[in-house]
Amino acid sequence: MILPLIAAFSAGVLVILSRQVNGRMSMSSTPMISSFWNHVVGFVVLTLIGLLVGGLIPANISEMPWWIFTGGAIGVVFVASGSWLITRIGAVNSTLLVIAGQMVFGVIFDLLRGAPVTIWASALGIVLILAGMALTQRRR
Amino acid sequence: MVWLVHLNGTWRSDPTAGMNPNPQTHTLPRTILTRIAPMTPSQTQRPNPLHLLAAFASGGLLTLAIFVNGEAGRLGGALFSSWLAHGVGTVVAVAVLALIWRRERAATKIAEAQHGKAPLWAYLGGIFGAVTVMLTSTAVNSPLALAGTLALGLAGQVVLSLAADYWGLLGLARRRLDLRDAGAVILIAGGSLLIILFGFGSA
């Protein structure tokens, strides 16, 4: 049980590590160039892993809905904006505001597509998040 | 090294000005600096509300990307999903860069004059993203499930970003943290945990 705990925690650490490194890249280039390197390097690494493990491209790929191919396009914008943001508002603010947006839009998105949502917990969670956002915004 | 910070309309010297290896960049027109200088958040600067709003909106993009990539993962596996996203992302980034290449090249020249060439390791951010996929897919398929994975991942993100700002890790600016940051962390992380652990699904 300790291994999955470490894996989940490390995944969060690596998300920030990646944003920090991409942010450094964008300081000496641009956020879009930094996003390009992030994707091309990730693609090479995942291709190598895929070749090692095998079965990278599933047989049913032609039957998948077209929109699953749009995730990468959204990712390019997200990574570029992350590099742009971290050099301006810092790591903590980036992390908190991105998580805040992810949660609030996640709840809205779930409501819109009719997924089950526990209203009291989601509403209270959103109130706390908005209060925290107001706090990042207050003059020091 | 950034030697100027834009504070309330006035330019002030950064304490690190003496460390700037490229004094000739001092003569750059202000408009160019304003555009490309990463506004190093000084200890007293309040984050620009528009930047915070942009960060919040990008969280919405992340929700969308995670949903789309999650569907790809459900249909073809986690490795395939991430591989596809990185492949499509590479193609899209190349297309965008081709369209605005002239501007990007000019901006890179200015950025390199100011901060020097990017260190080799700065090209490798993508490795961490690739490894993240493997870690999360391991964790999701353990007793932690999705909620536990998200909650612990959130903790990991908060811990490393606090460390990154406190020590100015990996060449980015150091930021002083205060009680307000602690309060924001507690409120936003607390609210998020509430949504992750109790908000999904019906009680």
On whether both B170 and B106 belong to a single domain, the answer is no
B77 in any annotated domain: no
On whether both B196 and B138 belong to a single domain, the answer is yes
pLDDT digits (tens, 9 = 90+) for A60-99: 888 889 998 999 999 999 999 999 999 988 888 999 999 9
Q: Which residues of A touch B62 (CB under 8 A)?
A: 78, 98, 101-102
pLDDT digits (tens, 9 = 90+) for B93-149: 999 999 999 999 999 999 898 998 889 999 999 999 888 887 887 887 778 877 788
B139 in any annotated domain: yes
What is the ipTM for the molecules in this complex? 0.88
On whether both B108 and B133 belong to a single domain, the answer is no
Residue B200's pLDDT band (cuts 50, 70, 90): confident
| Residue for token pair 């570029």 | A80
B180 in any annotated domain: yes
Chain B stretch 134-193, residues whose beta carbon is closer than 8 A to a beta carbon of chain A: 134-136, 138-139, 142-144, 148-149, 151-162, 164-165, 169-173, 175, 177-178, 180-181, 183-193
On whether both B109 and B190 belong to a single domain, the answer is no
Residue A113's pLDDT band (cuts 50, 70, 90): confident
Residue A139's pLDDT band (cuts 50, 70, 90): low
Token pair listed for B151: 């909650």
Query: Is pLDDT of B61 > 70?
Result: yes
On whether both B110 and B133 belong to a single domain, the answer is no
Q: What is the mean pLDDT of chain B?
A: 77
Residue A56: CB partners within 8 Å, gap ≥ 6? A47, A50, B79, B80, B83
Q: What percent of chain B has pLDDT over 90?
A: 23
On whether both B113 and B140 belong to a single domain, the answer is no
Q: Which of B59, B91, B117 is the last residue of a domain?
A: B117
pLDDT digits (tens, 9 = 90+) for B74-103: 888 888 989 999 999 999 999 999 999 999
Q: What is the C-alpha to C-alpha distance for residues A85 and A90, in angstroms, rounded to an integer?
A: 7
Q: Which of B117, B152, B176 is the last residue of a domain?
A: B117
Q: ∠ at Cα B87 (B85, B91), nearest 5°?
A: 115
Give the residue among A68, A64, A24, A15 at the shortest CA–CA distance from A42: A15
- Which stretches of B46-144 are DSSP H helices? 49-76, 78-99, 101-115, 125-140
Q: ∠ at Cα B132 (B131, B138), nearest 5°?
A: 95
B158 in any annotated domain: yes
On whether both B110 and B195 belong to a single domain, the answer is no
Residue A110's pLDDT band (cuts 50, 70, 90): confident
* CB pair distance less than 8 Å for B165 and A92: yes
On whether both B106 and B180 belong to a single domain, the answer is no
C-alpha separations of A70 from A108, B3, B36 in Å: 20, 40, 29
* Helix (H/G/I), strand (E/B), else coil: A53: helix
| Residue for token pair 């050099």 | A87
On whether both B144 and B172 belong to a single domain, the answer is yes
Token pair listed for A34: 């930094």
B73 in any annotated domain: no
Residue B45's pLDDT band (cuts 50, 70, 90): low
Query: Looking at residue B42, what is its pLDDT?
Result: 45
Residue A105 near residue B59, CB atoms below 8 Å: yes
- Work out the minimum CA distance from A49 to partner chain B, whole angstroms: 9
Q: ∠ at Cα B40 (B37, B43), nearest 5°?
A: 155
Residue B6: CB partners within 8 Å, gap ≥ 6? B34, B37, B39
B63 in any annotated domain: no
On whether both B12 and B110 belong to a single domain, the answer is yes
Report which residue type is found at A59.
A
pLDDT digits (tens, 9 = 90+) for A23-66: 999 999 999 999 999 999 999 999 999 999 888 888 888 888 99
On whether both B185 and B150 belong to a single domain, the answer is yes
Query: Is pLDDT of B5 > 50?
Result: no
Query: Looking at residue B144, what is its pLDDT?
Result: 81
pLDDT digits (tens, 9 = 90+) for B154-164: 888 988 898 88
Q: Which of B117, B146, B181 is the last residue of a domain?
A: B117
| Domain that includes residue B180, residue range | 120-203
Q: Into how many domains does chain B fold?
A: 2
On whether both B148 and B188 belong to a single domain, the answer is yes
Chain A stretch 39-68, residues whose beta carbon is closer than 8 A to a beta carbon of chain B: 39-47, 49-50, 53, 55-58, 60-61, 64-65, 67-68
